[in-house]
């Protein structure tokens, strides 16, 4: 007798685990297969804090979300089988799985395909040399296997993956020599770009890789500026000595299993590739087979989790574990949460659109889009940037993204976002900042600083989020870097605060001459001093 499950889930990533949890909650007998040795999909590589609001698990680091999902699934009796490769889906929902050295056949009354995505590559002379790797691969090496991919890295791609991984490479101890992108504007969140730029990483927009050097492995890379027709402009070549080239040039849905299962497919550029067509519950054209997460269109982990939950709820209704009404009700709640994430300047519907103003009517920072940081002459126009006596928050959040943890983080309610989750945070001048730093630690974009512009002795104090090791100590002397990552003045560490509530975002306070209060945004130990 073939083993039978109420639901077979392929892929133990955010979508698959969320679906399994939702289905098991309704009483379904669920198995999750994953080809990897560790569950969680990409979540366990995500060491940064997530965006969104509370319901989207904002300000929680990705791997913690993964741990939470796994614990919840285990508690509900979900069977998670690792090193288990689903090799085919056949008629009547028969699934073949390679487990250890044999193939098992199982049947599911419903199936959820949550196989995720694979990394895109680009070709250039030398692209097959060892040392040219996907940004996701670099992340796997660093964050799962504890291995450095290299010492000096060039990142191609300024989307969120490229930016987040660039930052993580630096956290791991690599030098990132540049972020390059053929597009003319930074593709990812400005706050991610800004935290990379202020560490001194130059951004080369409208640049692509001409070639990688090296005989047996990468020893260098040449990039050049492209014109409107993506052709290299002669004379714009720049060379870097690197041992690693990271490619973060997009993802493609890994949807072959859907195709094989007989689901109607479409090649949809808006979803970044070949995807199954699904209804509002994630159900494919084959009744009882669902798809959720990146496999049905590239988005991110937060939306994948919600899509998974919706599919789990719908599968439960299909098998009669819950009523149609309950299904509609619960799915609608999840839909609303999903809708909340798909707002703002980076919403799926905004792709390719040129935005010049924020929702508030503030002119967008062009320097942020071209160079990865907000220029000094631009920063003052944003509502989070204000001046007052004593310590106060300076919120360098300049794009409408669906994220609001800072609003709840302030115990004094100094920070206002309001009910519109994408609104830029603003400062309530009536409320008094105590300098507790909860907002600084809560900002997933590391865009909040505490500034005391005038300490009365010609100095100013700037508190910044710091996630590098070794942690500087009180009294350490070094230099302050500006938003571009240039050394601007000497700086001394006044104190470094670490607290459980900060979740590994340390608060480094440095003293700088007061004219640098609104310029100094990063601290570096002085190498020579």
Q: Where does this chain bind other proteins (CB under 8 A)?
A: 2, 35, 85-88, 90, 96, 98, 101-105, 118, 120-123, 125, 127-128, 252, 254-260, 265, 267-269, 273-274
CA distances from 494 to 474, 476, 485 (A): 5, 8, 21
Residue 266, SS3? Answer: strand
C-beta of 273: minimal distance to other proteins in Å? Answer: 8
C-beta of 104: minimal distance to other proteins in Å? Answer: 7
Q: Which is nearer to other proteins, 28 or 182 (CB)?
A: 182
The three state secondary structure string of 176-197 is EEEEEECCCCCCCCHHHHHHHH
Q: Which is nearer to other proteins, 127 or 240 (CB)?
A: 127
Q: Which is nearer to other proteins, 275 or 364 (CB)?
A: 275
Listed residue (406, 405, 404, 424) closest to 360, CA to CA: 424
C-beta of 269: minimal distance to other proteins in Å? Answer: 6
The first and second tokens of residue 163, run together, are 């930016």
C-beta of 255: minimal distance to other proteins in Å? Answer: 8
Q: Which is nearer to other proteins, 348 or 418 (CB)?
A: 348
Q: Which is nearer to other proteins, 257 or 406 (CB)?
A: 257
Residue 86, SS3? Answer: strand
C-beta of 87: minimal distance to other proteins in Å? Answer: 4
Q: Which is nearer to other proteins, 3 or 381 (CB)?
A: 3
CA distances from 80 to 8, 96, 256, 463 (A): 10, 16, 22, 44
What does R_g of the chain's alpha carbons equal in angstroms?
A: 24
* 308 touches 337 (CB < 8 A): no
Cβ-based burial of 460 (10 A; exposed 0-12, middle 13-18, buried ≥19):
buried
Q: CA dihedral defined by 284, 285, 289, 291, rounded to 10 degrees?
A: -10
Q: Which is nearer to other proteins, 270 or 501 (CB)?
A: 270
Q: Which is nearer to other proteins, 97 or 423 (CB)?
A: 97
C-beta of 363: minimal distance to other proteins in Å? Answer: 35
How far from each other are the two terminal CA atoms of the chain, in whole angstroms?
74
Cβ-based burial of 434 (10 A; exposed 0-12, middle 13-18, buried ≥19):
middle
The first and second tokens of residue 342, run together, are 């798909």
The first and second tokens of residue 324, run together, are 């149609």
C-beta of 299: minimal distance to other proteins in Å? Answer: 18
Phi first, then psi, for residue 30 (nearest 5°) are -120, 140
* 116 touches 293 (CB < 8 A): yes
Q: Which is nearer to other proteins, 248 or 494 (CB)?
A: 248
C-beta of 127: minimal distance to other proteins in Å? Answer: 8
C-beta of 274: minimal distance to other proteins in Å? Answer: 5
Residue 368, SS3? Answer: helix
């Amino acid at each position: 007798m073939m083993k039978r499950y109420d639901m077979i889930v392929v892929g133990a990533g955010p979508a698959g685990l969320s679906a399994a949890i939702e289905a098991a909650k309704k009483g379904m007998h669920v198995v999750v297969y994953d080809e990897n040795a560790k569950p969680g999909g990409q979540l366990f590589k995500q060491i940064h804090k997530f965006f969104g609001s509370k319901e989207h698990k904002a300000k929680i680091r990705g791997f913690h979300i993964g741990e939470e999902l796994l614990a919840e699934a285990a508690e509900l009796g979900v069977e998670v089988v690792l090193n288990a490769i689903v090799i085919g889906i056949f008629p009547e929902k028969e699934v073949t799985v390679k487990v250890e050295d044999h193939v098992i056949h199982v049947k599911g009354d419903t199936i959820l395909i949550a196989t995720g995505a694979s990394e895109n590559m680009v070709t250039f002379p030398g692209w097959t040399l060892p040392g040219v790797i996907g940004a996701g691969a670099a992340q796997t090496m660093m964050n799962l296997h504890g291995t450095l991919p290299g010492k000096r890295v060039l990142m191609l791609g300024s989307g969120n993956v490229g930016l987040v991984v660039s930052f993580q490479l630096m956290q791991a101890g690599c030098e990132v020599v540049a972020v390059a992108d053929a597009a003319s504007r930074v593709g990812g969140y400005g706050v991610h770009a800004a935290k990379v730029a202020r560490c001194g990483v130059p951004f080369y927009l409208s640049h692509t890789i001409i070639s990688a050097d090296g005989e047996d492995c990468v020893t260098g890379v040449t990039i050049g500026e492209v014109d409107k027709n993506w052709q290299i402009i002669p004379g714009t070549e720049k060379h870097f000595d690197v041992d690693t080239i990271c490619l973060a040039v997009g993802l493609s849905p890994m949807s072959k299993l859907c195709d094989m299962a007989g689901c109607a497919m479409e090649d949809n550029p808006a979803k970044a590739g070949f995807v199954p067509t699904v209804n509002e519950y994630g159900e494919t054209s084959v009744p009882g087979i669902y798809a959720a997460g990146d496999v049905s269109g590239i988005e991110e982990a937060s939306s994948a989790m919600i899509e998974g939950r919706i599919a789990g709820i719908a599968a439960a209704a299909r098998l009669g574990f819950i009523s149609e009404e309950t299904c509609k009700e619960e799915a609608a709640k999840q839909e609303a949460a999903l809708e909340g994430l798909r707002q703002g300047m980076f919403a799926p519907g905004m792709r390719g659109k040129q935005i010049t103003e924020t929702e508030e009517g503030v002119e967008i920072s062009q320097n942020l889009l071209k160079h990865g940081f907000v220029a000094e002459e631009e920063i003052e126009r944003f509502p989070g940037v204000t001046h007052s006596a004593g310590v106060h928050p300076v919120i360098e959040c300049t794009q409408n993204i669906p994220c609001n943890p800072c609003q709840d983080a302030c115990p004094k309610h100094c920070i206002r976002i309001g009910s519109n989750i994408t609104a830029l945070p603003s400062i309530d001048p009536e409320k008094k900042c105590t300098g507790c730093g909860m907002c600084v630690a809560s900002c997933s974009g590391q865009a909040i600083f505490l500034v005391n512009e005038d300490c009365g002795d010609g100095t100013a104090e700037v508190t910044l989020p710091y996630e590098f090791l070794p942690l500087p100590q009180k009294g350490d002397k070094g230099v302050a870097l500006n938003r571009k990552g240039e050394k601007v003045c000497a700086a001394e560490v006044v104190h470094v605060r670490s607290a459980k509530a900060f979740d590994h975002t340390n608060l480094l306070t440095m003293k700088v001459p007061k004219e640098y209060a609104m310029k100094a945004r990063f601290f570096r130990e002085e190498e020579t001093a």
